[in-house]
A and B are shown apart, each in its own frame.
Chain A
Amino acid sequence: MQATASIHYWIAPSTRSDEIDNPPLPNELHPGSQRARRGELKLYDSFDWRLWFGGLALYRLDGCYHLLPRSGFRLDLARPDGSGYSRPINFAEQFREPELRQPVQRILAPRALIEIASFQCRERSVQVRNGDDKGVALLHCFELSHPLPDGRQARLEGLWIAPCTGYQLELEMIEATLLAAGWQHEMRNPLELLLPAAQQPRPERTRPLTDMVGEEPADDLLRRLLLAQLRVVKEQEDGIIKQIDSEFLHDYRVALRKARSLLSLAKRVFPAAIQQRARHDFADLQRQSNQLRDLDVWLLQREHFQKMVPPRLQTGFEQLFAELQATRNQAQRRLRRLLVSSAHQLRMQQWLYDLAQPGLWEEPAEVKRSARALIDRQILRRHRQLLKGAQRFSQLDDEEVHDLRIEVKKLRYLLEIFSYFYSKEPCDWLLTHLRKVQGRLGDYNDLQVQQTHLQHFAETLIVGEKSIGEVLLAAGAIVAGLEREKQQARKRIAEPLHRLATPNGRVQLQRLLNEQ
């Protein structure tokens, strides 16, 4: 990766398209040799922008990838390009150049690279010469643009100056001339300035509604919220089918879980037949993706599990994971078949259509009850379940811990979805603690599922003609390691769970429900 000092950009004053063709220069200096090129610049990152927020920008121009510090991003015609790639890179390990592969792999692995924005890019480098015809600086001019939905262009013209060593006076003269001509000094990366306009429409993790009112009829609000979640579900499907990243499946399942959580509010709001159909369909979709998600979690934690297995059993470990990978691929194919099937497409279209039509369904009695009252009641109910679980936590078996996790998750999703209705302070307090508890319950549950899954897997293991002894021993080592981790994970749940059950926790809930 190229190390760069912080760069000062200069942004052109007008929206004319020829500013960078004739940048203003002091009378004592004149333009020398010039080079130009244009192309499409694409910015790549993981779905959650790990590179960008980690301070890096990875972009592709003319088939070549460049990784630069985000703050020191520079378009530079003089920079030697790396070797070209005819097709976009999906995973860091596909980079041939170690200077690209290593840092990207360190930050992203095992996440996939996806295109997050694209710009039309025009570059022009202009050498600035003095009276002796000696170059004193290089102006790197650029124009970035992106078409807007309304047909206009989001455009940015600017330049950055690469001064020649020993010509500080000339640099100051150029900067003064730019200032006098109305150019603006800017420290931010030009991509960052244009990014809001150029960002790819990407699958959203959540789609909060910002126009909720507590007095809105419950059926309308619930319908709108379910529609938003199902759209998120639909948007993840392409990523799952193309196997871009396991995170698409994760987001798919989170949105489904939220939709199912919302259905708990639907009693006496939606007609019974609709409720039943929704429960069935959403649960079915979740169930059909269970195995793939479980196996993804396994494979994502491969290195962690490998450490649990002693060196002499590593061969068995490799065989075990080869089997897991094969089973995962089968599960992926199964889910893919479901998602591309016309039956599934019809089912999703039907839901998206139905939920988009107000008043389509026959209304039960409570349908016009205000949403806020309904949600308050559900929150209170879920909180009561949580308190019961907290009181008996030390005696809960694994099944009951799982049920408690579902209750906590439902309460958390309700508060997250409807936080718009509530006072910020108690809502934030409850959400902070609920997230912590749910995270720890999730860790515990993952360990439990992995243990059960591995035991089941080992029982049904067929490794062709090879001896399965080493595989079973490796599996046994992992099960033992998981058991140790489970004990520790359980201890970690108690503290945040009991904080929710303290008098202060109850006060926060009262404040939440009473304050408008």
Chain B
Amino acid sequence: MKVIACYSIKGGVGKTATAVNLAHAAATSGYRTLLVDLDPQAAATFYFRIKAPEEKKVPRWFRTGQDLQQAIRGSDYPRLDLLPADLGYRDSEAMLAGMKRSDKQLRKRLKEVTDGYDMVLIDSPANIGLLSENIFRAADVVLVPVIPTTLSERTLRLLLHFFAKQKLDVDRLLPFFSMVQPHKRLHADTMARLRAEFPQLLQSTIPFTVDIENMGVLREPVLAYAPRRPAGEAYRALWLELLGRLIPRQE
């Protein structure tokens, strides 16, 4: 089983769209996939038309694996399930802080519920703290969407600094360009400069298109309703590139 986290300190960079579309791509490729929505905004849950459970009934991360298992919902796509988010996650930082081995709780809980899945994708909230550290320690790779702008570049540098400080494996960070508008000079220049500086940047880029924005209206992954449009093709390419990193070709 492989755990893929979609993470950025900054909001609005395309984390949820990436997690939702990669989860769909993984399931379509035949992998039994679980998408874990850790963002209290529950956008991934919304995209799959799943109703976020009422807070008081929701099993929290820090309850038993059995509770979590019962919270899993099937999506409308074969082999793709979702662990819905709820507002209860907003207290995660405080709750984790009071626990022993507070940076490894997510990994422990995931192990209890992901038996039978080949791929687990995590849609992370935009912040940095104990929950983020839990995500970094649970994931095999951390996908980082980067808008080729100054602020986004800055958050990538911050993240790299955090990894180094916490002695986390930097190689597990896989940044890629998201919401790219190639006609903008700022985007083109930033991409060229960062590619030279960070060789681990993935080659695939996700364009800024209306098809991705329409996910909120249609409540479906782009890959389900526009697989042949540029955005669909881009997510498919990103999935294949990621798969190549996760499962190296046998010589």
Contacts of B30 in A (CB 8 A): 80
User: What CA separation (Å) do A164 and B78 show in the bound complex?
Assistant: 9
Q: Which of B47-55, B100-108, B119-127, B234-242 contacts A (4 or more CB under 8 A)?
A: B47-55
Q: Which residues of A contact B76 (CB under 8 A)?
A: 127, 134-135, 164
Which positions 112-136 of chain A face chain B at CB distance < 8 Å?
Answer: 127, 132-135
With both beta carbons as reference points, the residue of chain A lying nearest to B84 in the complex is identified as: A166
**Cβ–Cβ < 8 Å partners of B50 in chain A:** 132, 134
Verify B51–A164 contact, CB threshold 8 A: no
Name the contact of B73 in the complex, choosing from A78, A127, A133, A164 (C-beta under 8 A): A164
Q: 1/0 per position for B40-66, CB-CB distance to A under 8 A? A: 000000001111000000000000000
Q: Is B71 an interface residue (CB 8 A)?
A: yes
Residues of B near A163 (CB, < 8 A) are 74
Contact A166 B74 (CB under 8 A): yes
Bound: A167/B70 CA distance, A: 10
Residues of B within 8 A of A165 (CB): 72-74, 81
The answer to whether A134 and B71 touch across the interface, beta carbons within 8 angstroms, is no
Count residues on chain A whose CB falls below 8 Å from chain B CBs: 12
Q: CB distance B73 to A167 under 8 Å? A: yes
B51 and A166 contact, CB distance less than 8 A: no
For the complex, what is the distance from the CA of A80 to the CA of B76, rounded to whole Å? 16
Measured CA separation A164–B81 after assembly (Å):
9
Q: In the complex, A163→B73 CA distance in Å?
A: 11
Which residue of A80, A132, A164 contacts B74 across the interface (Cβ within 8 Å)?
A164
Interfacial chain B residues near A166, Cβ < 8 Å: 70-74, 81
Q: From residue A191, how far is it (CB to closest CB) to chain B in Å?
A: 23
In the complex, A133 Cα to B50 Cα: how many Å?
A: 9
Chain B minimum-CB-distance residue to A133: B49
In the complex, chain A residues 145-188 whose Cβ is within 8 Å of any chain B Cβ: 163-167
Distance between B29 CB and nearest chain A CB, rounded to angstroms:
11
Per the bound structure, the CA–CA distance linking A166 and B50 in Å amounts to 10
Which A52-104 residues have a C-beta within 8 angstroms of B?
78, 80
Q: Are B78 and A167 in contact (CB under 8 A)?
A: no
Closest to B219 in A: A133
Minimum C-beta distance from A161 to chain B (A)? 13
Which residue of chain A is the closest to B46 with respect to CB atoms?
A132
Interface secondary structure of A, over-half rule: loop
Decide: B74 and A167 in contact? CB cutoff 8 A: yes
Complex interface: chain A residues within 8 A of B81 (CB): 165-166
* Inter-chain contact A134/B72, CB cutoff 8 Å: no
A132 pairs with B71, CB closer than 8 A: no
- What is the distance, in angstroms, from B200's C-beta to the closest C-beta of chain A? 34
Number of residues from B at the complex interface, CB < 8 A: 15
**B75 CB contacts on chain A under 8 angstroms:** 135, 164
On whether the beta carbons of B73 and A132 are closer than 8 Å, the reply is no
> Given the complex of chains A and B, what is the CA–CA distance between A158 and B71 in angstroms?
31
Q: How far is the CB of A463 from chain B (nearest CB, A)?
A: 44
Question: Which chain B residues numbered 150 to 197 have a C-beta less than 8 Å away from chain A?
Answer: none
For B72, list chain A residues within 8 Å (CB): 165-166
Q: How far is the CA of A166 from the CA of B80 in the complex (A)?
A: 12
Known: A132-B49, A134-B49. A78 touches B74 (CB 8 A): no
- Chain A nearest Cβ from B117, distance in angstroms: 11
Residues of B within 8 A of A78 (CB): 78
In whole angstroms, what is the CA distance A132 to B53 when docked?
13
Question: Chain A contacts of B51 at CB under 8 A?
Answer: 132, 134
Query: How far apart are B34's CB and chain A's nearest CB, in angstroms?
Result: 10
Q: With a CB–CB cut-off of 8 A, which chain A residues contact B71?
A: 166
Q: How far is it, in angstroms, between the C-alpha of A163 and the C-alpha of B76 when the chains are bound? A: 11
With a CB–CB cut-off of 8 A, which chain B residues contact A134? 48-51, 76
- Taking CB atoms and an 8 Å cut-off, the chain B residues in 19-42 that contact chain A are 30
CA distance A80 to B28 in the complex (A): 10
Roughly how many angstroms separate A114 CA and B219 CA in the complex, as a whole number? 49
Contacts of A167 in B (CB 8 A): 73-74
B-chain residues with CB within 8 Å of residue A127 when the two chains form the complex? 76
Q: Which residues of B contact A164 (CB under 8 A)?
A: 73-76
Shortest CB-to-CB span from A313 to chain B, Å, is 38
Docked CA distance A51–B75 (Å): 35
Residue of A nearest to B49 (CB): A134
A78→B30 CA distance, assembly (Å): 12
Taking the nearest CB of chain A, how far is it from the CB of B219, in angstroms?
8
In chain A, what residue has the closest Cβ to B71? A166
Complex CA distance for A23 and B78, rounded to whole angstroms: 22
Residues of B within 8 A of A135 (CB): 49, 74-76
**Which residues of B sit under 8 angstroms from A80, Cβ to Cβ?**
30
Q: Which chain A residue shows the least CB distance to B48?
A: A134
- How far apart are the CA atoms of A371 and B48 in the complex, in Å? 78
User: Chain A residues with Cβ under 8 A from B70's Cβ?
Assistant: 166
Distance (whole angstroms) from the CB of B40 to the closest CB of chain A: 20
Alpha-carbon distance between A167 and B48 when the two chains are bound, in angstroms: 14
CB distance from B196 to the nearest CB of A (A): 43
- Cα distance A132–B51 when bound, in Å? 8
Task: A78 to B219: give the CA distance in the assembly, Å.
Answer: 21
- The winner among A132, A165, A167 for most chain B CB atoms within 10 A is A165
The digit string for B68-90, where 1 denotes a CB below 8 A from any CB of A, is 00111111101001000000000
B195 to chain A, nearest CB (A): 38
Cα distance, A127 to B77, chains bound together (Å) = 11
Distance in angstroms between the alpha carbons of A80 and B27 in the assembled complex: 13
Residues of A within 8 A of B48 (CB): 134
Which of A80, A132, A134, A163 has the most chain B CB atoms closer than 10 A to its own CB? A134
Nearest chain A CB to B81 CB, angstrom units = 5
* Among A78, A133, A163, A164, residue most surrounded by chain B Cβ atoms (within 10 Å): A164
Q: How far is the CB of A35 from chain B (nearest CB, A)?
A: 13
CB distance from A440 to the nearest CB of B (A): 51
| A residues in contact with B219, CB < 8 Å | 133
Q: Which residues of A contact B (CB under 8 A)?
A: 78, 80, 127, 132-135, 163-167
Q: Identify the 4 closest CB pairs spanning chains A and B, nearest first.
A: A164-B74, A165-B74, A166-B73, A134-B49
Give 15 CB contacts A-B under 8 Å: A78-B78, A133-B219, A134-B76, A135-B49, A135-B76, A163-B74, A164-B73, A164-B74, A164-B75, A164-B76, A166-B70, A166-B72, A166-B73, A166-B81, A167-B74
Q: Told that A134-B48, A164-B74, A166-B71 touch, could you supply 14 new A-B pairs with CB distance under 8 A?
A: A127-B76, A132-B49, A134-B51, A135-B75, A135-B76, A164-B73, A164-B75, A164-B76, A165-B72, A165-B74, A166-B70, A166-B72, A166-B81, A167-B74
